[in-house]
Amino acid sequence: MPPLRANAILPGYIDTPMIEGFSQGRKEDLIAQIPLRRFGKPAEVADAIMFLLHNEYANNCVLKLDGGLSAV
């Protein structure tokens, strides 16, 4: 049996239907706080998932995908 691995992805604001309900002003306020000045893309989350799936040495990783928001 292969060893159990546990990893997590902590996405920030991702451009999905979840944020479509935000007003334009709210979106602009949020983007202004994100160092990369944009929302993440679903494909970027998928890329991170694939990285953690394919890297067999990755274990107990917590990957923040928030455009740097948690750093400020």
The per-residue pLDDT for range 5-58, each reduced to its tens digit, is 999 999 999 999 999 999 999 999 999 999 999 999 999 999 999 999 999 999
As a whole number of angstroms, the distance between CA 25 and CA 3 comes to: 47
Residues 6+ apart with CB under 8 A from 36: 67, 68
pLDDT value, residue 1? 80
8 A C-beta contact, residue 15 and residue 40:
yes
Number of other CB atoms surrounding residue 48 within 10 Å:
19
pLDDT value, residue 53? 95
As a whole number of angstroms, the distance between CA 39 and CA 66 comes to: 8
As a whole number of angstroms, the distance between CA 45 and CA 11 comes to: 7
